Amino acid sequence: MELEKLKQILEASLMVANGPLSFERLNALFAEDGERAPSREQLRTALEELENDYHHAGIELVQVGSGYRFQARAEVAEWVNRLWDEKKPRYSRALLETLAIVAYRQPITRGEIENIRGVAVSTNIMRTLLEREWLRVVGHRDVPGKPAVYATTKQFLDYFGLASLAQLPSLADLKDIDDINADLFADGEAAARDEEAAEDAEAAEAAEDAEDAEDAESDPADASDDAEPGGKNSFDGEDAPPSPEPVADGNATVAEGAGVDAAANDTDAGIADADAGSDSDPDDDVAANTA
């Protein structure tokens, strides 16, 4: 296949692709061409010449972690970004420091990151980096607790325009992270503090709810007292008002009184009869029996 034709095919494919195309994916475009298919060396040559063709254009052909892509040059990015209303993303110092540590020291655990930074790493920072697919879990350290081990991804390389980690600047070149891009830290610190404060508040509330639930389970009597209407606890520790004495029905009271008087009279009559019997003459009793 002629070189110019090959360059046109590669150019068109890279222009319409939704993302970077790897070398293997580009090579697979010619799998059905048989003898007309270009060799791998011809393909590399075409990509190099295509890159040179755009040397003075507003776009450039670059190789990133996932493959090759066309992108706007940094010199014109300011005007190109005006096509969208999205605000420029801003990241906190803590997030960028965490990402940089992983990039230079990977694979690494969260505890090791905290040891290097000297402070705790917020859960929101790790969640953000994982959601953006800049970091991924590549395994677990064989130590107590089995902490997750993190490493960067191809999406991380694509976002920062890197073909590999070897293109990262050396640590000796990084005199001060503020000098890289001071605008990255604008408005980031306040947002990070707000996120950490919200996270601490949620954790404290969850701990308080768990403690209340544990207290309720350990002392069910208190819970029953709380649920009983009129109980002591329902009055916030104050004694419950005394229950009113039941009012007796008037007729029932009179009847009960009459019954008591009648029983008393019967008792008195029985005592009187007993006394009368004891006062009678024994001879009269014998005579009465003989008769």
| Distance separating alpha carbons of residues 100 and 37, to the nearest angstrom | 42
Residue 209 falls within a domain, yes or no? no
| Distance separating alpha carbons of residues 215 and 237, to the nearest angstrom | 18
Q: Which strands, in side-by-side order, build the sheet including 108-109?
A: 108-109, 148-152, 135-140
134: CATH: 1.10.10.10
Last residue of a domain, one of 186, 217, 244: 186
Q: Answer whether residue 47 shows pLDDT above 90.
A: yes
Instruction: Work out the average pLDDT over 57-80.
Output: 90
Contact 116, 101 (CB under 8 A): yes
Q: Are 57 and 113 members of one domain? A: no
pLDDT score at 33: 85
Q: Are 107 and 164 members of one domain? A: yes
Q: Which of 27-36, 78-87, 245-254 has the lowest mean pLDDT?
A: 245-254
Last residue of a domain, one of 154, 186, 218: 186
Predicted confidence band of residue 220 (pLDDT cuts 50, 70, 90): low
Q: Are 176 and 103 members of one domain? A: yes
Between 108 and 277, the higher pLDDT residue: 108
Residue partners of 113: CB distance under 8 A and separation at least 6: 98, 101, 102, 121, 150
Contact 43, 56 (CB under 8 A): no
Residue 244 falls within a domain, yes or no? no
Residue 202 falls within a domain, yes or no? no
Residue with tokens 């879990």: 137
Question: 93-136: per-residue pLDDT in tens?
Answer: 889 999 999 999 999 999 999 999 888 888 899 999 999 999 99
Q: Is the dihedral of CA 11, 62, 93, 79 positive or negative?
A: negative
Between 271 and 136, the higher pLDDT residue: 136
Residue 195 falls within a domain, yes or no? no
Contact 234, 240 (CB under 8 A): yes
CA distances from 271 to 16, 259, 265 (A): 126, 19, 10
Last residue of a domain, one of 25, 49, 83: 83
Residue 134 falls within a domain, yes or no? yes
Helix axes 93-105, 110-117, angle to 10 degrees: 120
CA distances from 156 to 36, 104, 160, 174, 256 (A): 37, 13, 6, 19, 97
Question: Containing H/E element for 138?
Answer: strand 135-140
Q: Answer whether residue 236 shows pLDDT above 90.
A: no
Print the domain residue range for 54. 3-83
pLDDT score at 233: 46
Between 229 and 147, the higher pLDDT residue: 147
State percent of the chain over pLDDT 70: 63
Q: How many structural domains comprise the chain?
A: 2
Q: Are 78 and 108 members of one domain? A: no
Instruction: Work out the average pLDDT over 21-47.
Output: 90
Q: Are 111 and 181 members of one domain? A: yes
Predicted confidence band of residue 272 (pLDDT cuts 50, 70, 90): very low
Residue 240 falls within a domain, yes or no? no
Residue 158 falls within a domain, yes or no? yes
pLDDT score at 219: 58
Q: Are 67 and 123 members of one domain? A: no
Predicted confidence band of residue 255 (pLDDT cuts 50, 70, 90): very low
Residue 281 falls within a domain, yes or no? no
Question: 157-211: per-residue pLDDT in tens?
Answer: 988 888 888 888 887 766 555 554 444 444 445 555 565 666 667 777 777 777 7
pLDDT score at 253: 42
Which runs of consecutive H residues, i.e. helices, occur in the chain? 3-16, 23-28, 40-53, 77-80, 93-105, 110-117, 123-131, 154-159, 188-218, 220-227, 250-279, 282-290
pLDDT score at 196: 61
